[in-house]
A and B are shown apart, each in its own frame.
Chain A
Amino acid sequence: MKPVILWSDALIFLLVAALVLFFWRLRRDPQARERWRQVFASRLGMAAFTVIVAYVGIALLDSLHFRRALPPPEGVTTDEVFYDNQVSSVLDTLTAGMGERFERTYSAPFALRSFEKQTLKDDAGNTVRDFPPLRHAGANLDDPADKWGDVARRSAVALAWGLALAALLILPQWWLLRRSALPWESSWWVQGVLACLAVWVVSISRHYHVLGTDLGGTDVLYQSLKGIRTGVLIGALSTLVMLPIAVTLGVSAGYFKGWVDDVVQYLYTTLSSIPGILLIAAAVLLFQVYIDLNPDAFPTGLEKADAKFIALCFILGVTSWSTLCRLIRAETLKISQLGYVQAAHAFGVSHGRILARHILPNTMHIILITFVLDFSALVLAEAVLSYIGVGVDPSMGSWGNMINGARSELSREPAIWWTLSGAFLFMFLLVLSANLFADLVRDAFDPRTRLGPEAA
């Protein structure tokens, strides 16, 4: 086995590490701690957070890439190890080859036969047109009629294993957190359900296509799982690119005022006056041209797709900083007038120190709220961009590409609904969790929305 580290892999691990560090440091701030407690004191917040962590976990697993060592060719004895050209991820291993069981074309969930008729030869050698049996699904069955019985038996076994896994997962947490006042049970419920689902999916999909297959015969469930990494990364990396630009410009505009403010305002008015989609499309197309002109820089298809992906994140980040910048500028203007900044001026505290100690920490809530809100917006944007044809590379699994490939198939008779459903379910769950979580974060951190009784 030989590890392969793509640029996006490195970035996502870096980002997750940075986030963990950020929250760790935040723990020391009693006010922030109090507000986080408020977020997690809600059952909904706890559940949404658990779902998000699960998604991020899958994305991380899917970001550990490697190339399998191939057994040496027959009859050749050499110390040299050959590696598979195909790059796999840990997730591929965990799903037990779900992505390698290709069919010929469309097939419905749990179907044993293909969706389209084909010219076949029957046992007697006559040519008939019928739905051909699938290569993998139900291969273990002696009698196709026993399908649902088989599914039920396997589900029962999977459920038992799932419960065992859930217990393994939850018991140590229960031991560690038994004195916590937060509603961890909500998280444990979600964890339990997710664990059971995971075990069930992996074990059932060894013999069936749980969500059917798509035009190219790939398992839809597998594609949806692969879409997780793309979705999570696009949300996280784009925000990562956008934050420093928005924060630096916003804070300097609000703090230094004068010509700095004029320049920053000019920049963001100009940027936001360009229809966003055109700007993104133009930039993505231009990067495509760049790739075409410099084919040597990206030797493998995967690397090319990865470069395109990072470029997309970069472009999304660079084109979307104006809103946050405006918010931070306004907040900085407000904070600059407050007593503690004035007092710092009176103490001759340097600009850098005022910015670092007084202004930045007090704009954190805006940054945080924007980070969670933008995350879900970007996941949704990816689907639209892929539809327009300026999204992620078609070779890279993404929900947008799935929707794009299947958008007109609902009009077929009977309708092919499973590809869309798969993308919908996975995307909806992530965006919903992120949005619900963002809502709670905003309620806790935005002083304007805290609607408490005013003390008399």
Chain B
Amino acid sequence: MNQQADTLTLEGLSVELAETAQALVKDVAIHLRAGEIFALVGESGSGKSITSLAAMRLLPDALRVGSGRALMGDTDLFALPEARMQTVRGRRMAMIFQNPMSALNPVQTVFRQVAETLCLHTALRGAALRDRVASLLEEVGIPDPRQRMGFYPHQLSGGQQQRIMIAMALACEPEVLIADEPTTALDVTIQKQVLELIRELARSRRLAVLLITHDMGVVRQTADRVGVMYRGRIIEEASVASFFDAPKEAYSQRLIDALPGQDAFLPPVQAPPLLEVRDLKVHFPVRGGLLRRVQDVTRAVDGVSLTLARGETFALVGESGSGKSTLGRAILGLEATSGGEIHFYGTRIDGLDRGARQAFRRRIQVIFQNPYSSMNPRMAIGAIIAEGMLSLGVEASENRREARVAGLLERVRLPAECARRYPHELSGGQLQRVAIARALAVDPELIICDEPTSALDVSIRADVLTLLAELQREDGVAMLFITHDLSIVPGLAHRVGVMRSGLLLETGSAERVFTAPEHPYTRELLAAVPRVKR
């Protein structure tokens, strides 16, 4: 086996709450080797981020290392005084974080932030410092680095920000790089580039990388070895190849299976059209000048046409800022349209006033992305589900409403006593089931699903998607499924539309778009999707 010495070794690491000594991470052992990417994978709350912060000794005040050692060579990092540890951070171990926008100091230029690491640990100053920063930026793929050095973080795109983070981390040529969900906040195409960059740097610089992620696709494509974390423990560790072929633990198997297959497609639906969108435009005014006149418009949706048949699921795919959510909101009547028409069963529904719109509220419903913010924290679940029935007059008597709420909870497989609970007592997955029940409560014919699963863990995501598909089969409700995640589209949607910059670039049956994409951007998107099964 590999006789090469570990670059960083975590032994018997446990992390506990400082107040109650309740352990959040238990007896974790990780061996990081030069040039190798070790992926620590787990769902939210599994303790993977805490593990990485503990290795850097950057735990928040409320947590502390209970026991264990972090060895770099012969030195135990946990035994070092804080002043010595500061010479290790950034110099021998570096870290990049999930959200580059907030992880960069907003009021410092890129140059100052990258140079700070160098100033802390090297004697480089003046022109040599500038040269070094410029070459670092070039290495991580920032175009025109000399000019971009003077930029502030907000002037860069998300992908570029994460590259700056990487440049900052690598400035002093550390031996260990800890990457905590480095691509979760990025679009898929950018994610692919950043992961490739990390992989390349690990090879070229012989970096030992600890990659924290929840995404099995990312593991498969990037890592060499993988550890699965579950409730504070590493339950399985293996090389990536053998892990995906034959995982030992049932939980690992579930994580792998949770990623939907990419080859089974739904047949097209033959049914009369339900929703027709013709050349829809949603423009937001940009005001300026002395009198705040409308000087320009942001074209969020710029001439989109699509039809949706009864009982059909149409997946609207696009990266952030493509206008897909705005389109959904326009159909719901939550956003004023600037042009085009929306027809529902042949009746024009755009530009209706509040009263006239009321008749269609019942028939078009919505499920939002963030289950926590889409439930009023001060209302019981029962009241949340019943709200639509009450305002749209679906069930007049209170008893009937209660009975219906109970029935709906059963359909989304939640215990009936949930009706008396409050949102904060439920998990994200449970809340999203409540959101489904709330939408179903008024017997809609169309549900706009705006990224309903992107805030959920993978295993829960699969359950919610299965539930949605099942309900569709039973009720024949049509769905406009807005998502950035191409991987969930097969097995869910009958047809797909790809959006970018307010334009619908390509539509077609899911099978056609996935197997024979026409638009180059669609091909790019498809190529960027991390896949488990190759």
Residues of A within 8 A of B (CB): 29-32, 338-340, 342-350, 353, 357-358, 361-362, 452-456
Q: How far is the CA of A31 from the CA of B375 in the complex (A)?
A: 14
- Which residue of B365, B373, B392, B438 contacts A338 across the interface (Cβ within 8 Å)? B373
Q: Kindly state whether residue B396 has any CB partner on chain A within 8 Å.
A: no
- Which residue of B50, B60, B369, B387 contacts A344 across the interface (Cβ within 8 Å)? B387
- Which residue of B50, B364, B438 contacts A456 across the interface (Cβ within 8 Å)? B50
B391 touches A339 (CB 8 A): no
What's the minimum C-beta distance from B421 to chain A, rounded to whole angstroms? Answer: 9
B374 touches A338 (CB 8 A): yes
Contacts A342-B374, A348-B391, A357-B376 given; does A31 touch B45 at CB 8 Å: no
A-B CB proximity, top 5 nearest: A339-B374, A456-B49, A347-B388, A348-B361, A453-B62
- Which residue of B60, B375, B442 contacts A347 across the interface (Cβ within 8 Å)? B442
B422 touches A340 (CB 8 A): no
Give the chain A neighbours of B435 by CB distance below 8 A.
Answer: 343
Q: Kindly state whether residue B48 has any CB partner on chain A within 8 Å.
A: yes
- Which residue of B45, B62, B365 contacts A346 across the interface (Cβ within 8 Å)? B365
Main secondary structure of the interface of B (DSSP, over half): mixed
Q: Which residue of A lies closest to B444 (CB)?
A: A346
Q: Kindly state whether residue B61 has any CB partner on chain A within 8 Å.
A: yes
Q: Kindly state whether residue B108 has any CB partner on chain A within 8 Å.
A: no
A348 touches B60 (CB 8 A): no
B45 touches A456 (CB 8 A): yes
Give the chain A neighbours of B48 by CB distance below 8 A.
Answer: 456
Q: Which residue of B lies closest to A350 (CB)?
A: B391
Having A31-B377, A453-B61, one finds 20 other A-B pairs with CB under 8 Å, namely: A30-B425, A339-B368, A339-B375, A343-B438, A344-B387, A346-B334, A346-B365, A347-B365, A347-B388, A347-B391, A347-B392, A348-B362, A349-B388, A349-B391, A357-B379, A361-B378, A456-B24, A456-B44, A456-B48, A456-B53
What's the minimum C-beta distance from A340 to chain B, rounded to whole angstroms? Answer: 4
Give the chain B neighbours of A32 by CB distance below 8 A.
Answer: 378
Give the chain A neighbours of B63 by CB distance below 8 A.
Answer: 453
B44 touches A455 (CB 8 A): yes
Q: Which residue of B lies closest to A342 (CB)?
A: B334
B374 touches A340 (CB 8 A): yes
Q: Kindly state whether residue B357 has any CB partner on chain A within 8 Å.
A: yes
What's the minimum C-beta distance from B308 to chain A, rounded to whole angstroms? Answer: 17
- Which residue of B60, B332, B376 contacts A358 across the interface (Cβ within 8 Å)? B376
Report B334-385 residues with CB < 8 Å from chain A CB.
334, 354, 357-358, 361-362, 364-366, 368-370, 373-379, 384
Give the chain A neighbours of B329 by CB distance below 8 A.
Answer: 342
Give the chain B neighbours of A343 by CB distance below 8 A.
Answer: 366, 368, 374, 435, 438
- Which residue of B45, B332, B378 contacts A362 across the interface (Cβ within 8 Å)? B378
Q: Which residue of A lies closest to B388 (CB)?
A: A347
Most chain B beta-carbon contacts within 10 A, residue among A338, A342, A347? A347
Most chain A beta-carbon contacts within 10 A, residue among B373, B376, B377, B435? B376
Give the chain A neighbours of B158 by CB distance below 8 A.
Answer: none
Q: How far is the CA of A343 from the CA of B44 in the complex (A)?
A: 26
Give the chain A neighbours of B61 by CB distance below 8 A.
Answer: 453
A339 touches B378 (CB 8 A): no
- Which residue of A346, A357, A452 contacts B332 across the interface (Cβ within 8 Å)? A346
Q: How far is the CA of A338 from the CA of B392 in the complex (A)?
A: 21
Show 12 A/B contacts (Cβ-Cβ < 8 Å), sorted by A: A340-B373, A340-B375, A342-B374, A347-B387, A347-B388, A349-B388, A357-B379, A361-B376, A453-B62, A455-B44, A456-B44, A456-B49
Most chain B beta-carbon contacts within 10 A, residue among A339, A343, A344, A455? A343
Give the chain B neighbours of A346 by CB distance below 8 A.
Answer: 332-334, 361, 364-366
Most chain A beta-carbon contacts within 10 A, residue among B45, B53, B361? B361
What's the minimum C-beta distance from B519 to chain A, rounded to whole angstroms? Answer: 31
Q: Which residue of A lies closest to B438 (CB)?
A: A343
Q: Kindly state whether residue B174 has any CB partner on chain A within 8 Å.
A: no
Give the chain A neighbours of B392 by CB distance below 8 A.
Answer: 347-348
Q: How far is the CA of A207 from the CA of B136 in the complex (A)?
A: 86
Q: How far is the CA of A345 from the CA of B334 in the complex (A)?
A: 7
Most chain B beta-carbon contacts within 10 A, residue among A353, A453, A455, A456? A456
Contacts A340-B376, A453-B62, A455-B45 given; does A348 touch B357 at CB 8 Å: yes
Give the chain B neighbours of A348 by CB distance below 8 A.
Answer: 354, 357-358, 361-362, 388, 391-392
B334 touches A31 (CB 8 A): no
Give the chain B neighbours of A453 by CB distance below 8 A.
Answer: 17, 60-63
B376 touches A353 (CB 8 A): no
- Which residue of A345, A362, A456 contacts B376 across the interface (Cβ within 8 Å)? A362
Most chain B beta-carbon contacts within 10 A, residue among A349, A357, A453? A453
What's the minimum C-beta distance from A319 to chain B, rounded to whole angstroms? Answer: 30
B391 touches A353 (CB 8 A): yes
Interface residues as binary, B399-439 with A (CB distance below 8 Å gives 1, 0 otherwise): 00000000000000000000000101100000000010010
Contacts A452-B62, A453-B62, A456-B49 given; does A31 touch B424 at CB 8 Å: yes
Q: Which residue of A lies closest to B358 (CB)?
A: A348
Contacts A342-B334, A346-B366 given; does A456 touch B47 at CB 8 Å: yes
Give the chain A neighbours of B334 by CB distance below 8 A.
Answer: 342, 345-346
What's the minimum C-beta distance from A336 to chain B, rounded to whole angstroms? Answer: 11
